[in-house]
Structure 1
């Protein structure tokens, strides 16, 4: 690894006093703030007054989800990335190149990381301030690799294979916006009306390979319960991770270029249908979908919504094509 470069401030050097940019980590006298969920997205899907549930289960309006950001990162680097993402959304994330996937990775990783960063400044309970903040700086350090990867928004970066993400794209049959994540498993899904993306971070593209049948579902228009079922599978695959691969970087100061490499293999424990069912049950219940029982049936079978009008499972149907 090269000597510690000065191209950004690593998390271990942060003082988290609210005066440093969440992205580059540098001190900025300018009072600028980055909307975690960008304004264009909030206006497009009428999110301004709606609320996101934080990890301590307290609600916060989307419009209040901001983090400190220096003028350069805010007005130049992040704005350019946002425009690239908007164009991908306009074309429904079709025919994605590696650079397109990198933009999706940057955009979603910024939302996941910045939301956690925001929790550094929010009390667990306003009525009991002695309980402290929702997130501690030590806990945020667990996102140091993701924070490093986010520097690719600012600095030309090469991610050597395997890429540290898996991306899935789906077509949906309704116009509703929906966002959910699993903080511990490092995965995010967002439904922009009739198109949705699901991404898992720091797993060396293995989940995309393992869940390849779901990649083919982008050819089929799915309903909301089917979307939740698919994400339950993907999220649970991420939850099964027993470790996160190690990443190391090299920064070329003369060329202003960052290279990210990986070492070590991803290990996962065995799939458990009952455990998967609890994830799926929770998602269904949290969205107000009551099927009258658990998706895990007493005879050991699993209830599934992923069937066509003839009762054929969609992944089997599409695998025949």
Structure 2
């Protein structure tokens, strides 16, 4: 059921042109360019001239990752959200409230959705423009729920339990910035130097419970390989989802409050160690770590980096059963 009034332009009504705001979907009276990764982040981690690998495996400088945005969304709603997120980051995402989690969701979901929106205007192959653009409007419509949830940046929004996200926070040893995602699985991770966050969307908080043993690691400082292995667990958990729940939204015209309810539950297929190993192999290699072989050993055991100085596994006795959710 659609909201009763047109408080935003949903994706099946979108024009997806350079004159429409990526957030509210409406034609821009005064258009601005919204940096997908905000300017303060580009300055903080010296990302201006560094490049992000996008869906077709081409690379684009962070400075060029912009999307059209109306002045109100840019200068009011997004600006206020950015300030709140920076405060959470400055506090290393400690002692998060439900409202804090909503801010993290908004900030990260904006990056994921806006990056896909940007791909509407990017050619698959600039040397062969006849191949068309990376993403079609029809493909972007699969993000309709995420686009609806992003309206929480503009309006007071009540997400009734279960929350449509799972968030994990970890401490890291080095100061480097790192970003990676899994588009089909609707998840991403960002390492802000010595603190990182990983989020899975539209899972109704199921993966937060399923992968709760990983929360033991919140008391450890992870090296880069350990951080990647943790994300392999989380990304693969998102990849084995068999469905995405449906969502019912209502918008109260007088109070201007958006309410989101879940219809249905999330189901996942059974964990497969061989599949998980392939994901971990890919994440390690694509992130610059080449161990020269697969993490899946001939005896079926999986090489793990999650060990302490005494070679004891940090998750010993915490993962006894990885059956479907």
**SS of equivalent to 2:316:** helix
- The size of the alignment, in residue pairs, is 319
Q: Provide Cα deviations, 1:13-62, integer angstroms capped at 9, x if missing partner.
A: 01111110000001013230100000000000000000001100110000
How far residue 283 of structure 1 moved from its aligned partner, in angstroms, is: 1.0
* Contiguous gaps of at least 5 residues in structure 2: 320-325
Q: Counterpart in 1 of 2:260?
A: 260
Q: Provide Cα deviations, 1:79-113, integer angstroms capped at 9, x if missing partner.
A: 00000000000000000000000000000000000
- Does the CA-based 8 Å contact 1:217-1:318 persist in structure 2? no
Query: Distance in 2 between the 1:263 and 1:318 partners?
Result: 31
- Does the CA-based 8 Å contact 2:274-2:296 persist in structure 1? yes
* CA-based RMSD: 1.2
- Does the CA-based 8 Å contact 2:22-2:117 persist in structure 1? yes
How far residue 157 of structure 1 moved from its aligned partner, in angstroms, is: 0.3
Q: Provide Cα deviations, 1:260-285, integer angstroms capped at 9, x if missing partner.
A: 00011111111111111111101111
What aligned pairs does 1:268-307 form with structure 2 within 5 A after superposition? 268-307=268-307
What aligned pairs does 1:1-321 form with structure 2 within 5 A after superposition? 1=1, 4-316=4-316
How far residue 292 of structure 1 moved from its aligned partner, in angstroms, is: 2.1
Query: Distance in 2 between the 1:167 and 1:14 partners?
Result: 30
**SS of equivalent to 1:170:** strand
Q: Relative to structure 1, is the Cα distance of residues 3 and 42 closer, same or farther in structure 2, using a 3 angstrom cutoff?
A: closer
**SS of equivalent to 1:67:** strand
Query: Distance in 1 between the 2:60 and 2:273 partners?
Result: 34
**SS of equivalent to 2:251:** strand
Q: Counterpart in 1 of 2:322?
A: none
Query: Distance in 1 between the 2:76 and 2:7 partners?
Result: 16
Query: Distance in 1 between the 2:163 and 2:119 partners?
Result: 28
How far residue 290 of structure 1 moved from its aligned partner, in angstroms, is: 1.7
- Does the CA-based 8 Å contact 1:92-1:195 persist in structure 2? yes
Of 156-165 and 260-269, deviating more is 260-269
**SS of equivalent to 1:24:** coil
- Does the CA-based 8 Å contact 2:3-2:249 persist in structure 1? no
**SS of equivalent to 1:259:** strand
Query: Distance in 2 between the 1:49 and 1:2 partners?
Result: 42
How far residue 318 of structure 1 moved from its aligned partner, in angstroms, is: 8.5
| TM-score, length-scaled by structure 1 | 0.97
Q: Counterpart in 1 of 2:323?
A: none
How far residue 315 of structure 1 moved from its aligned partner, in angstroms, is: 2.1
